[in-house]
Structure 1
Amino acid sequence: MIDSEEAARAWFETAPGFDGQARERLELLAVRLREENARQNLVAAPTLESVWQRHFADSAQLLTHVPRETRSWLDLGSGAGFPGLVIGILRPNLRVHLVESRNRRIDWLERMRSELGLDRVQVAGSRLELVETFPSHVISARAFAPMPKLLDLSARFSTIDTTWVLPKGRSAAQELQELRGWRHKFHVEQSLTDPSAGLIVGTLIGRKKVKRT
Protein backbone atom coordinates (compact mmCIF):
# COMPACT_ATOMS: atom_id res chain seq x y z
CA MET A 1 0.00 0.00 0.00
CA ILE A 2 1.27 3.46 -0.94
CA ASP A 3 0.46 5.23 2.33
CA SER A 4 2.80 8.24 2.39
CA GLU A 5 4.72 10.68 0.22
CA GLU A 6 7.90 8.71 0.83
CA ALA A 7 6.22 5.46 -0.23
CA ALA A 8 4.79 7.13 -3.33
CA ARG A 9 8.16 8.47 -4.44
CA ALA A 10 9.77 5.07 -3.82
CA TRP A 11 7.03 3.37 -5.85
CA PHE A 12 7.63 5.68 -8.79
CA GLU A 13 11.30 4.68 -8.94
CA THR A 14 10.23 1.26 -10.24
CA ALA A 15 7.14 2.40 -12.16
CA PRO A 16 7.09 1.85 -15.94
CA GLY A 17 7.91 5.03 -17.87
CA PHE A 18 9.44 6.84 -14.89
CA ASP A 19 12.79 8.47 -15.66
CA GLY A 20 14.59 11.73 -15.04
CA GLN A 21 12.41 13.68 -17.45
CA ALA A 22 9.21 12.27 -15.92
CA ARG A 23 10.45 13.22 -12.45
CA GLU A 24 11.17 16.79 -13.55
CA ARG A 25 7.76 17.11 -15.16
CA LEU A 26 5.95 15.78 -12.10
CA GLU A 27 7.93 18.12 -9.81
CA LEU A 28 6.93 21.05 -12.02
CA LEU A 29 3.31 19.92 -12.09
CA ALA A 30 3.30 19.81 -8.28
CA VAL A 31 4.57 23.40 -8.12
CA ARG A 32 2.09 24.68 -10.68
CA LEU A 33 -0.78 22.80 -9.02
CA ARG A 34 -0.09 24.51 -5.71
CA GLU A 35 0.06 27.92 -7.41
CA GLU A 36 -3.10 27.39 -9.42
CA ASN A 37 -5.02 25.97 -6.48
CA ALA A 38 -4.73 29.39 -4.83
CA ARG A 39 -6.69 30.81 -7.78
CA GLN A 40 -9.19 28.04 -8.41
CA ASN A 41 -10.15 24.98 -6.42
CA LEU A 42 -8.57 22.23 -8.53
CA VAL A 43 -8.03 19.78 -5.67
CA ALA A 44 -8.85 19.72 -1.96
CA ALA A 45 -6.25 21.94 -0.28
CA PRO A 46 -5.10 19.34 2.31
CA THR A 47 -4.14 16.93 -0.48
CA LEU A 48 -1.43 19.33 -1.67
CA GLU A 49 0.69 18.09 1.23
CA SER A 50 0.57 14.56 -0.19
CA VAL A 51 0.37 15.24 -3.92
CA TRP A 52 2.67 12.35 -4.91
CA GLN A 53 0.48 9.87 -3.07
CA ARG A 54 -3.01 11.35 -3.49
CA HIS A 55 -2.75 12.51 -7.09
CA PHE A 56 0.38 11.27 -8.87
CA ALA A 57 0.56 7.65 -7.67
CA ASP A 58 -3.24 7.44 -7.56
CA SER A 59 -3.22 8.31 -11.28
CA ALA A 60 -0.16 6.30 -12.32
CA GLN A 61 -1.48 3.08 -10.79
CA LEU A 62 -4.01 2.90 -13.63
CA LEU A 63 -1.17 2.02 -16.00
CA THR A 64 -0.72 -1.30 -14.19
CA HIS A 65 -4.15 -2.39 -15.46
CA VAL A 66 -3.85 -1.56 -19.17
CA PRO A 67 -1.99 -3.33 -22.00
CA ARG A 68 1.54 -2.12 -22.66
CA GLU A 69 0.73 -1.75 -26.37
CA THR A 70 -1.97 0.85 -25.61
CA ARG A 71 -1.77 3.73 -28.10
CA SER A 72 -4.67 6.03 -27.16
CA TRP A 73 -6.25 7.09 -23.87
CA LEU A 74 -9.48 9.00 -23.26
CA ASP A 75 -9.79 10.72 -19.87
CA LEU A 76 -13.26 12.02 -19.05
CA GLY A 77 -13.82 15.06 -16.84
CA SER A 78 -10.09 15.65 -16.52
CA GLY A 79 -10.44 18.63 -14.17
CA ALA A 80 -7.08 19.19 -12.50
CA GLY A 81 -5.48 16.72 -14.93
CA PHE A 82 -5.68 13.50 -12.96
CA PRO A 83 -5.11 10.94 -14.21
CA GLY A 84 -4.67 12.38 -17.73
CA LEU A 85 -1.63 14.63 -17.27
CA VAL A 86 0.21 12.00 -15.24
CA ILE A 87 -0.49 9.37 -17.89
CA GLY A 88 0.82 11.76 -20.54
CA ILE A 89 4.00 12.32 -18.53
CA LEU A 90 4.72 8.63 -17.98
CA ARG A 91 3.74 7.58 -21.50
CA PRO A 92 4.88 10.49 -23.72
CA ASN A 93 4.31 8.45 -26.91
CA LEU A 94 0.70 7.74 -25.97
CA ARG A 95 -2.03 9.91 -27.48
CA VAL A 96 -4.04 11.18 -24.50
CA HIS A 97 -7.35 13.01 -24.93
CA LEU A 98 -8.49 15.11 -21.96
CA VAL A 99 -12.19 16.01 -21.96
CA GLU A 100 -13.16 18.97 -19.77
CA SER A 101 -16.04 21.44 -20.11
CA ARG A 102 -15.22 24.07 -17.45
CA ASN A 103 -13.42 27.07 -18.96
CA ARG A 104 -10.93 27.78 -16.18
CA ARG A 105 -9.91 24.15 -16.03
CA ILE A 106 -9.62 23.97 -19.81
CA ASP A 107 -7.18 26.91 -19.59
CA TRP A 108 -5.23 25.13 -16.84
CA LEU A 109 -4.97 21.89 -18.83
CA GLU A 110 -3.87 23.72 -21.95
CA ARG A 111 -1.18 25.63 -20.04
CA MET A 112 0.14 22.47 -18.40
CA ARG A 113 0.10 20.51 -21.64
CA SER A 114 2.23 23.23 -23.21
CA GLU A 115 4.58 23.92 -20.29
CA LEU A 116 5.22 20.23 -19.65
CA GLY A 117 5.95 19.63 -23.33
CA LEU A 118 3.26 16.97 -23.72
CA ASP A 119 2.89 17.18 -27.48
CA ARG A 120 0.65 14.13 -27.77
CA VAL A 121 -1.82 15.28 -25.13
CA GLN A 122 -4.90 16.98 -26.53
CA VAL A 123 -7.53 18.93 -24.61
CA ALA A 124 -11.12 18.68 -25.80
CA GLY A 125 -12.69 21.75 -24.20
CA SER A 126 -16.29 20.72 -24.51
CA ARG A 127 -19.09 18.74 -22.99
CA LEU A 128 -18.56 15.05 -23.69
CA GLU A 129 -21.81 14.89 -25.66
CA LEU A 130 -20.30 17.26 -28.24
CA VAL A 131 -16.98 15.43 -28.68
CA GLU A 132 -16.71 13.60 -31.98
CA THR A 133 -16.76 9.82 -31.61
CA PHE A 134 -13.49 7.92 -32.02
CA PRO A 135 -12.32 4.52 -30.71
CA SER A 136 -9.98 4.63 -27.72
CA HIS A 137 -7.80 1.85 -26.34
CA VAL A 138 -8.34 3.03 -22.74
CA ILE A 139 -11.08 5.07 -21.08
CA SER A 140 -10.63 6.54 -17.61
CA ALA A 141 -12.80 8.76 -15.46
CA ARG A 142 -12.04 9.98 -11.95
CA ALA A 143 -15.16 11.20 -10.12
CA PHE A 144 -16.91 11.95 -13.42
CA ALA A 145 -20.34 10.33 -13.04
CA PRO A 146 -22.10 7.25 -11.62
CA MET A 147 -21.68 4.15 -13.77
CA PRO A 148 -25.05 4.23 -15.60
CA LYS A 149 -24.58 7.84 -16.75
CA LEU A 150 -20.89 7.31 -17.46
CA LEU A 151 -21.59 4.40 -19.79
CA ASP A 152 -24.54 6.14 -21.45
CA LEU A 153 -22.29 9.09 -22.32
CA SER A 154 -19.08 7.33 -23.26
CA ALA A 155 -19.84 3.81 -24.54
CA ARG A 156 -19.63 5.13 -28.10
CA PHE A 157 -15.85 5.56 -27.67
CA SER A 158 -15.44 1.92 -26.61
CA THR A 159 -14.77 -1.23 -28.62
CA ILE A 160 -14.56 -4.82 -27.41
CA ASP A 161 -10.81 -4.23 -27.01
CA THR A 162 -11.09 -1.04 -24.93
CA THR A 163 -9.92 -1.25 -21.33
CA TRP A 164 -11.87 0.81 -18.82
CA VAL A 165 -10.09 1.96 -15.63
CA LEU A 166 -12.42 3.85 -13.33
CA PRO A 167 -11.33 5.00 -9.86
CA LYS A 168 -14.51 4.82 -7.80
CA GLY A 169 -13.43 5.17 -4.20
CA ARG A 170 -15.54 3.37 -1.64
CA SER A 171 -18.47 3.02 -4.03
CA ALA A 172 -16.72 0.77 -6.56
CA ALA A 173 -18.18 -2.58 -5.51
CA GLN A 174 -21.65 -1.16 -4.93
CA GLU A 175 -21.75 0.69 -8.27
CA LEU A 176 -20.69 -2.44 -10.12
CA GLN A 177 -23.18 -4.61 -8.26
CA GLU A 178 -26.01 -2.21 -9.07
CA LEU A 179 -25.11 -1.77 -12.76
CA ARG A 180 -27.96 -2.89 -15.01
CA GLY A 181 -28.60 -2.98 -18.72
CA TRP A 182 -25.03 -3.63 -19.89
CA ARG A 183 -23.04 -6.71 -20.82
CA HIS A 184 -19.50 -6.33 -19.54
CA LYS A 185 -16.43 -7.96 -18.05
CA PHE A 186 -15.81 -5.51 -15.23
CA HIS A 187 -14.32 -6.33 -11.84
CA VAL A 188 -13.02 -4.35 -8.86
CA GLU A 189 -9.32 -3.95 -8.10
CA GLN A 190 -7.96 -2.62 -4.81
CA SER A 191 -6.51 0.88 -5.01
CA LEU A 192 -2.80 1.08 -4.20
CA THR A 193 -3.19 4.45 -2.49
CA ASP A 194 -6.32 4.04 -0.37
CA PRO A 195 -7.29 0.83 1.50
CA SER A 196 -10.97 1.77 1.31
CA ALA A 197 -11.03 2.58 -2.42
CA GLY A 198 -11.47 0.45 -5.49
CA LEU A 199 -10.99 0.66 -9.24
CA ILE A 200 -13.49 -0.74 -11.72
CA VAL A 201 -11.47 -2.40 -14.47
CA GLY A 202 -12.44 -4.37 -17.55
CA THR A 203 -14.13 -4.33 -20.93
CA LEU A 204 -17.59 -3.34 -22.11
CA ILE A 205 -19.43 -5.66 -24.47
CA GLY A 206 -22.56 -3.63 -25.08
CA ARG A 207 -26.12 -3.03 -24.02
CA LYS A 208 -28.27 -5.95 -23.03
CA LYS A 209 -31.01 -6.70 -25.49
CA VAL A 210 -34.49 -5.98 -24.22
CA LYS A 211 -36.74 -9.01 -24.46
CA ARG A 212 -39.99 -8.26 -26.19
CA THR A 213 -43.13 -9.93 -25.01
Structure 2
Amino acid sequence: MIASEEQARAYVGSLCDEEAMDRLSLLVGDLVEENQQQNLVAKATLETVWQRHIADSAQLLPLGSPTEGTWLDLGSGAGFPGLVIAAMRPEAPVVLVESRKRRVEWLNRALARTGLSNCRVEGRRLEQVERFAAGTISARAFAPLDRLLSLSARFSTGATSWVLPKGRSAEQEVQGLPRAGRAMFHVEQSLTDPEAGIVVGRGQWSEKS
Protein backbone atom coordinates (compact mmCIF):
# COMPACT_ATOMS: atom_id res chain seq x y z
CA MET A 1 0.00 0.00 0.00
CA ILE A 2 1.27 3.46 -0.94
CA ALA A 3 1.25 5.45 2.30
CA SER A 4 3.50 8.46 1.70
CA GLU A 5 4.50 11.01 -0.92
CA GLU A 6 7.92 9.36 -1.21
CA GLN A 7 6.36 5.97 -1.89
CA ALA A 8 3.95 7.55 -4.35
CA ARG A 9 6.74 9.19 -6.36
CA ALA A 10 8.74 5.95 -6.35
CA TYR A 11 5.75 3.95 -7.56
CA VAL A 12 4.92 6.36 -10.38
CA GLY A 13 8.59 6.50 -11.35
CA SER A 14 8.63 2.72 -11.71
CA LEU A 15 5.98 2.97 -14.42
CA CYS A 16 7.46 5.73 -16.59
CA ASP A 17 10.67 7.51 -17.61
CA GLU A 18 12.27 10.69 -16.26
CA GLU A 19 10.70 12.88 -18.94
CA ALA A 20 7.26 11.71 -17.87
CA MET A 21 8.11 12.45 -14.24
CA ASP A 22 9.17 15.95 -15.26
CA ARG A 23 5.83 16.45 -17.02
CA LEU A 24 3.97 15.23 -13.95
CA SER A 25 5.97 17.54 -11.67
CA LEU A 26 5.09 20.46 -13.94
CA LEU A 27 1.46 19.40 -13.84
CA VAL A 28 1.49 19.28 -10.04
CA GLY A 29 2.93 22.79 -9.80
CA ASP A 30 0.35 24.17 -12.20
CA LEU A 31 -2.44 22.33 -10.38
CA VAL A 32 -1.50 23.92 -7.05
CA GLU A 33 -1.48 27.36 -8.66
CA GLU A 34 -4.74 26.85 -10.58
CA ASN A 35 -6.46 25.50 -7.48
CA GLN A 36 -6.29 29.02 -6.05
CA GLN A 37 -8.50 30.18 -8.94
CA GLN A 38 -10.93 27.27 -9.14
CA ASN A 39 -11.59 24.30 -6.89
CA LEU A 40 -10.07 21.56 -9.05
CA VAL A 41 -9.34 19.30 -6.07
CA ALA A 42 -9.97 19.53 -2.34
CA LYS A 43 -7.36 21.87 -0.89
CA ALA A 44 -6.41 19.40 1.83
CA THR A 45 -5.39 16.79 -0.75
CA LEU A 46 -2.65 19.04 -2.16
CA GLU A 47 -0.46 18.11 0.79
CA THR A 48 -0.44 14.53 -0.49
CA VAL A 49 -1.01 15.26 -4.18
CA TRP A 50 1.32 12.52 -5.46
CA GLN A 51 -0.44 9.89 -3.39
CA ARG A 52 -4.03 11.13 -3.69
CA HIS A 53 -4.04 12.13 -7.34
CA ILE A 54 -0.92 11.17 -9.33
CA ALA A 55 -0.26 7.64 -8.02
CA ASP A 56 -4.00 7.09 -7.66
CA SER A 57 -4.28 7.73 -11.41
CA ALA A 58 -1.05 5.98 -12.41
CA GLN A 59 -2.14 2.70 -10.83
CA LEU A 60 -4.72 2.36 -13.60
CA LEU A 61 -2.02 2.12 -16.26
CA PRO A 62 -1.12 -1.56 -15.68
CA LEU A 63 -4.84 -2.43 -15.46
CA GLY A 64 -5.75 -0.84 -18.81
CA SER A 65 -4.49 -1.19 -22.37
CA PRO A 66 -2.55 2.04 -23.05
CA THR A 67 -0.96 0.68 -26.25
CA GLU A 68 -4.20 -0.72 -27.69
CA GLY A 69 -6.39 1.97 -29.22
CA THR A 70 -7.44 5.25 -27.66
CA TRP A 71 -7.69 5.74 -23.90
CA LEU A 72 -11.04 7.44 -23.18
CA ASP A 73 -11.34 9.27 -19.85
CA LEU A 74 -14.81 10.38 -18.78
CA GLY A 75 -15.46 13.47 -16.69
CA SER A 76 -11.75 14.35 -16.57
CA GLY A 77 -12.19 17.44 -14.37
CA ALA A 78 -8.77 18.30 -12.95
CA GLY A 79 -7.18 15.70 -15.25
CA PHE A 80 -7.36 12.57 -13.14
CA PRO A 81 -6.77 9.97 -14.27
CA GLY A 82 -6.65 10.83 -18.00
CA LEU A 83 -4.11 13.65 -18.00
CA VAL A 84 -1.73 11.58 -15.87
CA ILE A 85 -2.05 8.64 -18.28
CA ALA A 86 -1.32 10.94 -21.24
CA ALA A 87 1.76 12.35 -19.50
CA MET A 88 3.10 8.88 -18.73
CA ARG A 89 2.44 7.45 -22.19
CA PRO A 90 2.95 10.32 -24.68
CA GLU A 91 2.95 7.91 -27.62
CA ALA A 92 -0.58 6.66 -26.86
CA PRO A 93 -3.74 8.56 -27.90
CA VAL A 94 -5.88 9.84 -25.02
CA VAL A 95 -9.25 11.64 -25.13
CA LEU A 96 -10.47 13.63 -22.13
CA VAL A 97 -14.21 14.28 -21.94
CA GLU A 98 -15.22 17.24 -19.78
CA SER A 99 -18.25 19.51 -20.18
CA ARG A 100 -17.47 22.27 -17.64
CA LYS A 101 -15.97 25.30 -19.37
CA ARG A 102 -13.37 26.27 -16.76
CA ARG A 103 -12.22 22.66 -16.41
CA VAL A 104 -11.88 22.43 -20.20
CA GLU A 105 -9.76 25.60 -20.22
CA TRP A 106 -7.54 24.18 -17.47
CA LEU A 107 -7.07 20.87 -19.29
CA ASN A 108 -6.13 22.60 -22.54
CA ARG A 109 -3.63 24.83 -20.73
CA ALA A 110 -2.13 21.80 -19.01
CA LEU A 111 -1.73 20.01 -22.33
CA ALA A 112 -0.04 23.03 -23.87
CA ARG A 113 2.30 23.42 -20.90
CA THR A 114 3.35 19.77 -20.93
CA GLY A 115 3.62 19.62 -24.71
CA LEU A 116 1.37 16.59 -25.01
CA SER A 117 0.21 16.18 -28.60
CA ASN A 118 -1.19 12.69 -27.97
CA CYS A 119 -4.11 14.02 -25.98
CA ARG A 120 -7.19 16.07 -26.87
CA VAL A 121 -10.07 17.49 -24.88
CA GLU A 122 -13.70 16.95 -25.89
CA GLY A 123 -15.33 19.95 -24.23
CA ARG A 124 -18.88 18.66 -24.27
CA ARG A 125 -21.15 16.08 -22.69
CA LEU A 126 -20.31 12.47 -23.45
CA GLU A 127 -23.61 12.04 -25.29
CA GLN A 128 -22.41 14.63 -27.83
CA VAL A 129 -19.01 13.05 -28.50
CA GLU A 130 -18.74 11.24 -31.83
CA ARG A 131 -18.37 7.52 -31.38
CA PHE A 132 -14.99 5.81 -31.74
CA ALA A 133 -13.62 2.48 -30.55
CA ALA A 134 -11.88 2.93 -27.20
CA GLY A 135 -9.05 0.65 -26.14
CA THR A 136 -9.52 1.64 -22.49
CA ILE A 137 -12.29 3.52 -20.72
CA SER A 138 -11.59 5.18 -17.37
CA ALA A 139 -13.60 7.44 -15.09
CA ARG A 140 -13.17 8.78 -11.58
CA ALA A 141 -16.25 10.18 -9.83
CA PHE A 142 -18.21 10.36 -13.09
CA ALA A 143 -21.48 8.51 -12.45
CA PRO A 144 -22.89 5.41 -10.75
CA LEU A 145 -21.54 2.28 -12.45
CA ASP A 146 -24.74 1.24 -14.23
CA ARG A 147 -25.26 4.71 -15.69
CA LEU A 148 -21.58 5.07 -16.57
CA LEU A 149 -21.69 1.81 -18.54
CA SER A 150 -24.89 2.81 -20.29
CA LEU A 151 -23.50 6.20 -21.36
CA SER A 152 -20.16 4.86 -22.61
CA ALA A 153 -21.28 1.52 -24.07
CA ARG A 154 -21.13 2.79 -27.66
CA PHE A 155 -17.38 3.40 -27.32
CA SER A 156 -16.68 -0.17 -26.20
CA THR A 157 -15.69 -3.21 -28.24
CA GLY A 158 -14.84 -6.79 -27.38
CA ALA A 159 -11.26 -5.65 -26.74
CA THR A 160 -12.03 -2.63 -24.54
CA SER A 161 -10.54 -2.53 -21.04
CA TRP A 162 -12.53 -0.79 -18.29
CA VAL A 163 -10.69 0.71 -15.29
CA LEU A 164 -13.08 2.55 -13.01
CA PRO A 165 -12.04 3.76 -9.53
CA LYS A 166 -15.11 3.47 -7.35
CA GLY A 167 -13.93 3.98 -3.79
CA ARG A 168 -15.75 2.10 -1.07
CA SER A 169 -18.78 1.38 -3.26
CA ALA A 170 -16.91 -0.67 -5.88
CA GLU A 171 -18.05 -4.15 -4.87
CA GLN A 172 -21.58 -2.99 -4.15
CA GLU A 173 -21.91 -1.34 -7.58
CA VAL A 174 -20.65 -4.44 -9.38
CA GLN A 175 -23.12 -6.62 -7.46
CA GLY A 176 -25.88 -4.26 -8.57
CA LEU A 177 -25.32 -5.11 -12.24
CA PRO A 178 -27.24 -7.79 -14.16
CA ARG A 179 -25.78 -11.30 -13.88
CA ALA A 180 -23.80 -11.10 -17.14
CA GLY A 181 -22.42 -7.75 -16.06
CA ARG A 182 -21.31 -9.15 -12.73
CA ALA A 183 -19.39 -11.83 -14.61
CA MET A 184 -17.70 -9.21 -16.82
CA PHE A 185 -16.27 -7.10 -14.00
CA HIS A 186 -14.27 -7.65 -10.84
CA VAL A 187 -12.81 -5.36 -8.16
CA GLU A 188 -9.09 -4.70 -7.64
CA GLN A 189 -7.78 -3.21 -4.41
CA SER A 190 -6.61 0.39 -4.73
CA LEU A 191 -2.92 0.87 -3.97
CA THR A 192 -3.50 4.33 -2.49
CA ASP A 193 -6.51 3.76 -0.23
CA PRO A 194 -7.10 0.56 1.79
CA GLU A 195 -10.85 1.14 1.69
CA ALA A 196 -11.14 1.85 -2.05
CA GLY A 197 -11.65 -0.47 -4.99
CA ILE A 198 -11.22 -0.27 -8.77
CA VAL A 199 -13.80 -1.89 -11.03
CA VAL A 200 -11.93 -3.69 -13.81
CA GLY A 201 -13.31 -5.52 -16.83
CA ARG A 202 -12.81 -6.27 -20.49
CA GLY A 203 -15.29 -6.46 -23.32
CA GLN A 204 -18.23 -4.71 -24.95
CA TRP A 205 -21.03 -3.50 -22.75
CA SER A 206 -24.63 -3.57 -23.89
CA GLU A 207 -27.90 -3.03 -22.06
CA LYS A 208 -28.43 -6.79 -22.38
CA SER A 209 -25.23 -7.56 -20.49
Same fold (TM over 0.5): yes
RMSD of Structure 2 on Structure 1 (CA):
1.6
Stretches of structure 1 lacking an aligned partner (at least 5 in a row): none
Q: Which residue of 1 aligns with 2:42?
A: 44
Note if contact 1:181-1:207 (Cα within 8 Å) is conserved in structure 2. Answer: no
Query: Does 199-208 or 124-133 show the bigger shift?
Result: 199-208
Note if contact 1:161-1:203 (Cα within 8 Å) is conserved in structure 2. Answer: yes
Secondary structure in 2 aligned to 1:207?
A: coil
Secondary structure in 1 aligned to 2:60?
A: helix
Note if contact 2:65-2:136 (Cα within 8 Å) is conserved in structure 1. Answer: no
What amino acid maps onto 1:151 in structure 2? L
Q: Which residue of 2 aligns with 1:34?
A: 32
Deviation of the 1:197 alpha carbon = 0.3
Stretches of structure 2 lacking an aligned partner (at least 5 in a row): none
Q: Which residue of 2 aligns with 1:192?
A: 191
> TM-score, normalised on structure 2?
0.95
Equivalent residue for 1:180, pick from 178, 181, 184: 178
Higher radius of gyration, 1 or 2: 1
| Deviations, residues 108-165 of structure 1 (Å, cap 9, x unaligned) | 0000011100101000000111000110000000000001110111100000100000
Equivalent residue for 2:168, pick from 170, 173, 189: 170
Deviation of the 1:66 alpha carbon = 2.1
Q: How does 1:74-113 map to 2 (within 5 A)?
A: 74-113=72-111
- Between the aligned partners of 1:112 and 1:208, the Cα distance in structure 2 is 36
Q: Which residue of 1 aligns with 2:121?
A: 123
1:14 aligns with 2:14: yes
Deviation of the 1:71 alpha carbon = 3.2
Secondary structure in 2 aligned to 1:137?
A: strand
> TM-score, normalised on structure 1?
0.93
What amino acid maps onto 2:48 in structure 1? S
- Moved beyond 3 Å, runs of 4+: 181-184, 204-210
Deviation of the 1:190 alpha carbon = 0.2
